């Protein structure tokens, strides 16, 4: 049913097993194919390959988390404002997300993408030994199991996997593996001893639990104070810091050694990737802040310099003079062209930068003469 997951996972594992089998066999794959470290490194690099594919979604996840923290005050305000109207709240939340290019799904996509990988790897590794009587096992005899291919792995690859040991422990076996499962290794390196598996599995369980804890601690340390104060976030932080690491340690005895290798390598990759991505994003934000400060400093006036206010070239004054001249001309009965010419000469004189006092005195003289004429005419009329 999940062959679309099992086959890609088995293809990647097959590729890396070929690479490391060739390396450990010093150029002879058949010689290094059954090496336990070749198989162990194939599992580790399977994890690294898949995490590399998910690198860009992980970066988007980090940026989405940062956006969620920045938008938290606005989200709380919308929740407060539309607490009695959930439909309106949903519409406003979608509008806010669209304005800021925010997609909540990107925050959980890398985690969701790793779930089918874990399931696929667990199933492929478990299918190298199908002699058990548990749920999902095929109840094969050791001979049938050794001659049955496992997805892209041939029967020779299955036998090579059964022979692989790390310090005497088969990487497909768990501490709690039943006796009939361990009997399948009798013709391929002998039945493994329980203490060998404990000696390999327990350190891996402890390392996996510690790596899970420190990854969670690094994530919690980068949360804002408002996000950490949220009751739901506080509960999830406690689960991530203590319950999940403890679950890895408690569930370790039931997991094959190869799955423990997967868990350790996955957490190591996550720890290094978090520091790399967060460091890069912090540098980008610091650079943006620095550029904003520099732009602000460039636009600010220099120390001691007064802001220069540009004056208009006496336009209001010229208009007032022209209006008064036209009024005098109308009163005296003289043509407005002469008056307007004098006002235009005044305008040109003020625009050309000549001394403003001469222009003003000329206008004043004109106003005086025109005013006298007006009074004389009035006397004659009377």
Residue 379 is predicted with a pLDDT of 47
Phi, psi angles (nearest 5°) of residue 298: -70, -35
Please check the confidence at residue 350 and state whether its pLDDT lies above 60: no
Instruction: Name which of 327, 320, 321, 339 is nearest 374 in CA terms.
Output: 327
Which tokens hold the place of 235?
Answer: 């509960």
Helices marked H in the chain — which ranges?
3-24, 29-32, 36-53, 55-70, 72-81, 86-99, 109-126, 142-146, 155-163, 179-183, 194-221, 225-229, 231-238, 244-251, 257-299, 315-332, 336-351, 356-381
Instruction: Name which of 315, 263, 212, 314 is nearest 40 in CA terms.
Output: 263
Average pLDDT over residues 101-122: 74
3-class secondary-structure state, position 99: helix
What SS3 string covers 274-296?
HHHHHHHHHHHHHHHHHHHHHHH
Q: What is the pLDDT of residues 266-324, one digit of tens each?
A: 988 988 888 888 888 888 888 888 888 888 888 777 666 665 554 444 444 444 454 55
Higher pLDDT among residues 268 and 380, named by residue: 268
How far is Cα 228 from Cα 216, in angstroms, rounded to an integer?
13
How far is Cα 66 from Cα 224, in angstroms, rounded to an integer?
9
Confidence of residue 37 (pLDDT cuts 50, 70, 90): very high
Chain center to CA of 252:
32
Residue 344 is predicted with a pLDDT of 41
Higher pLDDT among residues 74 and 174, named by residue: 174
Confidence of residue 181 (pLDDT cuts 50, 70, 90): confident
Residue 303 is predicted with a pLDDT of 66
pTM score: 0.69
Which tokens hold the place of 117?
Answer: 């990988």
Helical (H) or strand (E) element with 328 = helix 315-332
Residue 48 is predicted with a pLDDT of 93
pLDDT averaged over every residue in the chain? 77
């Amino acid at each position: 049913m999940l062959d679309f997951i099992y086959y890609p996972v088995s293809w990647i594992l097959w590729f890396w097993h070929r690479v490391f089998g060739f390396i450990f066999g010093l150029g002879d794959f058949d010689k290094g194919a059954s090496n336990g470290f070749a198989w162990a490194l194939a599992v580790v690099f399977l994890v690294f390959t898949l995490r590399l594919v998910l690198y860009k979604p992980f970066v988007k996840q980090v940026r989405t988390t940062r956006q969620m923290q920045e938008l938290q005050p606005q989200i709380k305000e919308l929740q407060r404002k539309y607490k009695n109207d959930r439909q309106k709240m949903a519409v406003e939340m979608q509008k806010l997300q669209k304005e800021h290019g925010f997609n909540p799904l990107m925050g959980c996509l890398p985690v969701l993408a790793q779930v089918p990988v874990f399931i696929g790897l667990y199933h492929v590794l478990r299918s190298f030994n199908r002699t058990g009587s548990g749920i999902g096992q095929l109840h094969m005899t050791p001979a049938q199991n050794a001659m049955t291919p496992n997805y892209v792995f041939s029967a020779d690859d299955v036998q090579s996997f059964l022979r692989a040991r790390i310090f005497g422990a088969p990487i497909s076996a768990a501490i709690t593996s039943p006796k009939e499962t361990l009997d399948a290794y009798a013709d391929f390196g002998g039945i493994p001893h329980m203490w060998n598996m404990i000696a390999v599995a327990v350190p891996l369980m402890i390392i996996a639990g510690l790596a899970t804890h420190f990854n969670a601690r690094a994530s919690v340390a980068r949360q804002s104070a408002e996000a950490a104060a949220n009751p739901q976030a506080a509960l999830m932080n406690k689960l991530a810091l203590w319950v999940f690491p403890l679950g890895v340690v408690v569930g370790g005895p039931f997991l094959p050694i190869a799955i423990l290798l997967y868990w350790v390598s996955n957490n190591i990759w996550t720890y290094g990737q978090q520091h790399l991505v967060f460091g890069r994003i912090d540098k980008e934000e610091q650079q943006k802040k620095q550029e904003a400060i520099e732009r602000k400093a460039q636009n600010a006036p220099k120390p001691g310099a007064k802001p220069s206010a540009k004056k208009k070239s006496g336009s209001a004054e010229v208009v007032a003079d022209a209006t008064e001249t036209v009024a005098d001309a109308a009163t005296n009965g003289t043509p407005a062209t002469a008056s307007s010419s004098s006002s235009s000469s005044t305008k040109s004189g003020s625009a050309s930068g000549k001394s403003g006092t001469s222009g003003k005195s000329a206008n004043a003289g004109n106003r005086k003469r025109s005013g006298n004429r007006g009074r004389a005419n009035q006397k004659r009329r009377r």
